[in-house]
Amino acid sequence: MGSKWQQEKKNDPFYKKAKNEEYRSRASFKLKQLDKKFKIIKTGNTVVDLGASPGGWSQVALEKVGEEGLVIGVDLNRIKPFEEENFHGIRGDFTTDEVQNQITKLVGGKTKVLISDASPSLCGIKNIDQLNSYDLIESIIEIADNILENKGNLVIKAFQGSEYNTILNHLKKRFKILKTTKPSSSRKKSAEMYIIGLGFKGNNHN
């Protein structure tokens, strides 16, 4: 199983592209494709990346925000620092108050963009994995409610399952525009989808 996965990885065009273009992860191309389509991150923005390790999405965010912007990456695992001084890594659990307080201090209260390619630890039992994913997304939505600027943007990964429509309904109340897509760099056999919220309406969800 391990050797087959390694072989698939080596033959993956986006894995090769990431190596050639010095991106930390093939996932970098997911955010690049999403941003090209939906114009999520702009120069000078503050971006919070939840579940950031190894830093593939933070790397793209740093390119987009330029020197005037700020990127905060959060993960349970250490994120290898970038050369750019406008990147801050936090090692910890972003569902905890302690880490959320750290994020709030670093961004100065609010962020323009919140992105997350995070997945829960998978056990292989479909229903349990989907419920754990749903719980994680609920935590991210709660964080968005607290730190996302008015008219801010959100990108999160979700897996299609029994709770998928519930997630979409929660987010429709919060954003002016809500889109779902699967970028071409996502693996075909993956059930992952990306939800893009544009124009955060604040805490008034009515």
Residues with a catalytic annotation lie at 157
Tokens 């919070």 -> residue: 48
Task: Compute the distance between CA of residue 108 and CA of residue 195 in angstroms, rounded to an integer.
Answer: 26
Task: Compute the distance between CA of residue 32 and CA of residue 45 in angstroms, rounded to an integer.
Answer: 16
| The pair of three-digit structure tokens given for residue 54, joined into one six-digit string | 């190894």
Handedness of CA 201, 146, 45, 192 (dihedral sign): negative
Q: What is the DSSP letter of 75?
A: E
* Phi, psi of 122, rounded to the nearest 5 degrees: -90, 140
